[in-house]
Amino acid sequence: MNVACVNTALSTTLLNTELKRLNDEQITIDHRYIVKGLLKPGQVSMIFGPSNVGKSTVVASICAHVAQGKPLADIPTEKSLVIYVAAEDPKGVEDRALPHFTDAASDSASFYVLPKAIDLTDPQQMAFLSKEIQDLIFNEKATSCLVIVDTMAMSIGDGDENSARDMGRMIQSLRRIADETGANALVVHHTGVSDGSRPRGSGTVFNAFDTVVLVEDASKAYGRGVVSLTPTKQRNGSKNRRLYFRLTALEVGVDRDGEAITLPLALPMEGQDVQPAPAPGAEDAKEADAGDYREKVAFQLVCQQCKASSDRRVKAADIIVDFSKACPSDKSEKRETTLRAINRIFAQLVQSRLIEGNGNAGYRPTASAEKCGAS
């Protein structure tokens, strides 16, 4: 009797892929991170928020801290190679990141800016880019890497944000970079038009990412200039870690007209620094009181100089010395800045019908003003 020969060897592959037998494994803990509790190597991430909320300023700050291995306030980072694909504003990335560098260049990982857009929907370009990133990581002897694409809208060629097909290709490209290079591939994106709590475009965008972080204006809750970063999705971690940054301006010099040149800066905030804002209207009322005082001083100075002659006209330069003494907050080494401030006050007094005239001829109290020096 013929007996069919049976292959008793167990197959451990499916679709030419080796199977992993969990029975033989043990729980392992992955301690690696780029930003602890937020960004991990080998994952795809998104930071999104409304226009002008400060996304790029915050992302540049995060990257500068990561390149130096410096904590974001009380949150540790791993010193990592940074590759920033600046599709919209390469110079702005430099301006927002450089003020954070306090260590010598030799003590930091490299922070590279690519000043051009890429096409995340082009498989051939992405294959080439992934290989180049791998080579750069090897040459830099980097142990971890953060790749930023800012923004998504400028990095999908002629693709459509609302197309699940195009967004699927975009996600595949980011996943390829993360898988092949070990980097965290992070894209910067905008919120939806009708729903500010989700990314703009196809729902595929949200569902396919490992980490999704929403940037929001938190000034009403925590004071002027504060923005919050809230994880709305963490595939393998907690969504409870929230970061706060204070947006401010750093003065780096003056232009040829004597005006200050400032750069936007995002400063990470320690937990104890995140305090509730003053009661609504408190700061506005304080500023309004200060504004009223400056107007009163300027009006009184105009009146004083016009008492001597009914034909007298007063210009900003005529009262600048006395005005600066009476209003120390406006005292400035830059004479032109103070003159402009006084002229703005004159314009407000004209609107209030307390004085009349113009900047060329000068100003005098109006006949309808009850008396000089009235508030």
Helix (H) or strand (E) holding 205: helix 204-207
**C-alpha–C-alpha distance, residues 126 and 138, integer Å:** 18
How many other C-beta atoms lie within 10 A of the C-beta of residue 222?
Answer: 19
Domain assignments of the chain as residue spans, ordered by start: 44-273, 282-365
Model pLDDT, residue 41: 95
* Predicted confidence band of residue 331 (pLDDT cuts 50, 70, 90): very low
Q: d(Cα 149, Cα 153) in Å, to the nearest integer?
A: 10
Nearest to 44 by CA among 261, 164, 206, 200: 206
Looking at domain 44-273, its CATH class is alpha beta
Q: Counting beta carbons within 10 angstroms of the beta carbon of residue 85, is it exposed (0 to 12), middle (13 to 18) or buried (19 or more)?
A: buried
**273-301 burial, b for 16+ CB within 10 Å, e for fewer?**
ebeeeeeeeeeeeeeeeeeeebbbbbbbb
* Residue in 249, 167, 238 with CA at minimum distance from that of residue 208: 167
Task: Please name the residues in contact with 238: beta carbons below 8 A apart, sequence gap of 6 or more.
Answer: 37, 231
By DSSP bridging, strand 243-254 and strand 260-268 are: antiparallel
How far apart CA 103 and CA 107 sit, in angstroms, is 6
Query: 104-150, pLDDT tens digit by residue?
Result: 666 899 999 999 999 999 999 999 999 999 999 999 999 999 999 99
How many Cα atoms within 13 Å fall on the side-chain side of residue 172?
A: 13
Q: What is the pLDDT of residue 281?
A: 54
Q: Can you list the positions of beta strands (E) in the chain?
A: 13-14, 17-18, 44-49, 81-86, 111-114, 145-150, 184-190, 211-217, 226-234, 243-254, 260-268, 355-358, 362-365
pLDDT tens digits for 204-233? 777 889 999 999 999 888 888 899 999 998
Q: Give tens-digit pLDDT for 36-87.
A: 989 999 999 999 999 889 999 999 999 999 999 999 988 999 999 999 999 9
